[in-house]
Structure formats: structure tokens, C-alpha cells
Amino acid sequence: MKVEKVAILGGGNGGITAAADLSSRGFEVTMFQSDKFCKDLDVIKEKGEILLQTLDNERTAKVHLVTDDIKQAILGAQIIMLAIPGMAVEYFAELLAPVVNENQIIYINSAAAMGCIRFANKAKAMGINKKFKICESNSLTYGCRAFADECRVEMSLQVKKLFLGSYPASDIDEIMEALLQIYDCFVPAANIWQVTLENGNPEVHPGPALLNAGRIDYSNGEFWLYKEGITKHTINVLEAVERERKALGRALGFEVEGARESRINRGYLVEDKNKTLQELFNTSEVFGSIKGPTSVENRYITEDISTGLVLWSSLGKILNVPTPNIDAIIVLGSTLLQKDFYKEGLTVEKLGITDVHNKQDLIYAV
């Protein structure tokens, strides 16, 4: 499959940046504008272009089409990219599943949250039994910020290494051949269990953010997790979760990258053997420009616990891997926000994967 056209669903930082970047590299790009998640694209639609600013230069990229007609948005696209928050997977599945054809590749470009299975499950619940070509990466392909009303994006990083997994896992070779035409950063994951365990956000965000909850409340939006919230003490919680996450990977038969290794491989951190992980986070040029979370209701806590840590905890129960620090963050987050994340969050069972008791059962399911 030769990739010439990419349809982008999602009008946030990732979606707008992808539109500008891919268009500037010669791909035909369309953007889908929805009432719920992509409603702020009117200025881009009117102007027909986006200013792409990188650390080295800036250039203007044309957008072929911005439309609220999903059929028109994906027409002729070889790849349909969902650059969306994890909580939006089912919403976009409801829109896309009825109209996508089985030859089009659906790529979920965000922090991994088992989006492939959730998309397929939503389609099945709608009575749609297509054989989707669907995949997801462990993280977004960019470090970026987008300003839709200014038709402008700031791209501080094009990520250097990401894990890509397909559902089912047997489709990965065909999908990799297509996806490598738009991004050269992908390496194939063993399966989407590895992809979700390579998503470092649930490890880095909720623990340190919860330990800074008072500061977040008091700061009135002026809080910087990576510069001020990751300290010589809060890093201990991050590293405890890292150990549990890596143990889950080993129990499933693969090694996952640690927080230091993965951020260096992606390009967010620059290796300096004289600096601790805390110091690398504090001094990162990319992370240092990211403000937030500005509220304890932010996705750094809510989404990364509900679709990340709760899932990892449920994996631990099946694999007999203890996850005491993961569980402590879930409990503390539930108390702090007066929610029951164990009840609301994503589990193996909620993915429709039932009657599984060990590693072999889990791998067979994907």
C-alpha cells in the first residue's frame, strides 16, 4: 500500500500538529471536525493552512479539507489517524466504524489505553463485524502545543522511537509497512499488552501529581509538574510504579523500557550520566515547556488512573504480580476526587477478555 492521503480525526494538540507536519511533507491531509471533540477548527477551515513552528524553522502547511462529514473526511485515505484522548475512543468508533472500509488502516495516535480492542468492542456492540486494520502506539508522535484559533502549532519534538501494536497482533507486518511511510519512529511491539505497558504516563503523572495536589489547588493554574512537581521524594513513587510495571511486562514475556530509557529513546530527555532521573525531568527542554496539570481533575490524574493504573492492577491480579504502589495511587486518587476508580476504570474484564487465568490466556486474547 502506498500512502498518499491521511485523514485526521481529532482537533487537539496532536491532531493539528499531525495535519501540519504531514501536509508539509507532501501528504494530502483532511481533518474531521466533530461537535464534541474537534469543534474549534473553524479558523483553520477558513484559512486552509497551519503555521508549523519547530525549534529550527517555521513553514506554512496547507490543509486539503476540514469537514464535519465523516464519509468525506476519510474518502480515499489510506490511513485514518485518531489523534484523540483515551476517553474518546468509543465516541469516534461510533462515528467511524460504520463508514470505514476494511482496507483502510486505523491508527490511534495517543497515549495507549487498549484503544484497538475498545474500538472493535464498540463496533461489535453496534452490530458491525468488519475485520478492522487497527493499531495504536504507546504515545503521541509529537511533543507539541497547538493554537487552533491562530492556525499555529509549536512542535518541540518529533518522537524518535515508539512501539506499535495491532489488533490482532498478526496484522502488524502489513500495518508497519504503511505506517513507516509517515513516521520512521516505529518498532513492532509483541502485542498491545506491551504497547499499553510502554505508555509511561500512568507511571509519571498520577503519583507525583497527587502528591502535589495542595500545590495544584493553590497555584490557580500556575503549576509545572516536570519542573517543580517531580522532586527527590516524589520520584521515589514514580520509580516504585516503574518496578511494578516492568514486573508485569516480564510476567507477560517481554521487557519494557524504564522511565529514563524510554524518555531518552523518544527524545524527551538528553542522556547525562551525571544527572538523576529527577534532574533530567526538571531540566528537559521539551518537558520544561509543558504547564500543568492545572487542576486535580486533569487527565494526568483521572485518565491515567482510570485507563492506565486500574488496568495494570487488574493485569497484576491475573498474573500474580503484586502492585501495591499502583493500588495505593488508585485508592488515594479515589479518595481525593471522591470517585471509585476501581469501579469506573478499565479492567481486563471490561475489555471483554474473560475467563483468563495466566500469561498464555492473555496473549491468546490479543
Of 140, 174, 197, the last residue of a domain is 197
- Contact predicate 206/310, CB 8 Å: no
Per-residue pLDDT averaged across 303-332, rounded?
A: 97
Mark whether 240 and 131 lie in a shared domain. Answer: no
pLDDT value of position 33: 85
* Residue 65 shares a structural domain with residue 182: yes
> Using 50, 70 and 90 to split pLDDT, how confident is the model at 286?
confident
Cell numbers that stand for 332 in this block:
488515594
Q: Which of 8, 12, 14, 51 is nearest to 27 (CA)?
A: 8
- Average pLDDT of every residue of the chain: 95
> Which grid cell is 149?
484559533
What does the alpha-carbon distance between residue 308 and residue 104 come to, in Å, rounded to a whole number? 28
pTM: 0.95
In angstroms, the CA 96 to CA 118 distance is: 13
Same domain? For 254 and 166 the reply is: no
Residue 42's pLDDT is what? 86
CA distance linking residue 17 with residue 13, whole number of Å? 6
What's the CA gap between 64 and 110, in Å, rounded? Answer: 23
Euclidean distance between CA atoms 139 and 87, whole angstroms: 15
**CA torsion angle 281 284 290 292 (round to 10):** 20
Here the CATH number for the domain that contains residue 219 is 1.10.1040.10
Same domain, 136 and 226: no
107-160 residue pLDDT tens: 999 999 999 999 999 999 999 999 999 999 999 999 999 999 999 999 989 999
pLDDT at 38 over 80: no
Listed residue (259, 81, 268, 102) closest to 183, CA to CA: 81
* Per-residue confidence band for 65, with pLDDT thresholds at 50, 70 and 90: very high
* Of 218 and 39, the one with more pLDDT: 218
Could you tell me if 217 and 294 are in contact, meaning their C-beta atoms sit under 8 angstroms apart? no
- C-alpha 225, offset from chain centre: 18
Residues 184 and 207 in one domain: no
For residue 34, name the pLDDT band (cuts at 50, 70, 90).
confident
pLDDT for the residue numbered 341: 98
Query: What are the grid coordinates assigned to 305, written together?
Result: 488512573
CA distance 345 to 340: 8
Domain boundary, last residue among 197, 222, 247: 197
* Per-residue pLDDT reduced to its tens digit, 93-108: 999 999 999 999 999 9
Same domain, 98 and 216: no
The pLDDT of 199-220, averaged and rounded, is 96
On whether both 173 and 267 belong to a single domain, the answer is no
Whether 64 shows a pLDDT value over 90: the answer reads yes
Q: State yes or no: pLDDT of 234 exceeds 90.
A: yes
The three state secondary structure string of the chain is: CCCCEEEEECCCHHHHHHHHHHHHCCCEEEEECCCCCCCCCHHHHHHCEEEEEECCCEEEEECCEEECCHHHHHCCCCEEEECCCHHHHHHHHHHHCCCCCCCCEEEECCCCCCHHHHHHHHHHHCCCCCCCEEEEECCCCEEEEEEHHHCEEEEEEECCCEEEEEECHHHHHHHHHHHCCCCCCEEECCCHHHHHHCCCHHHHCHHHHHHCHHHHHHHCCCCEHHHHHCCCCHHHHHHHHHHHHHHHHHHCCCCCCCHHHHHHHHCCCCCCCCCCHHHHHHHCCCHHHCCECCCCCCCCCHHHHHHHHHHHHHHHHHHCCCCHHHHHHHHHHHHHHCCCHHHHCCCCHHHCCCCCCCHHHHHHHC
For β-strands 5-9 and 133-137, DSSP reports them as unpaired
Q: What is the pLDDT of residue 39?
A: 66
Number of domains into which the chain is organized: 2
Looking up cell 505506517, which residue turns up?
179
pLDDT at 35 over 90: no
Beta bridge partners of 24: none
pLDDT of 37 strictly over 70: no
Res. 87: pLDDT tops 90: no
| Residue that is last in its domain, among 197, 223, 243 | 197
CATH number at residue 164: 3.40.50.720
Averaged pLDDT for residues 220-225 = 93
The predicted pLDDT at position 190 comes to 94
Distance in angstroms (rounded) separating the CA atoms of residues 133 and 108: 11
Let me know whether 151 and 207 are in one domain.
Answer: no
Contact status, residue 68 vs residue 62, Cβ threshold 8 Å: no
Does the pLDDT at position 36 exceed 80? Answer: no
Range of the domain at 157: 5-197
Q: Chain centroid to CA 36: how far?
A: 19
> pLDDT for 10-23, tens place per residue?
988 999 999 999 99
Q: Do 191 and 212 fall into the same domain?
A: no
- 239 with 299, same domain: the answer is yes
Q: Are residues 98 and 188 in the same domain?
A: yes
- Same domain, yes or no, for 316 and 251? yes
CA distances for 333 relative to 236, 282, 293, 328, angstroms? 18, 24, 14, 8
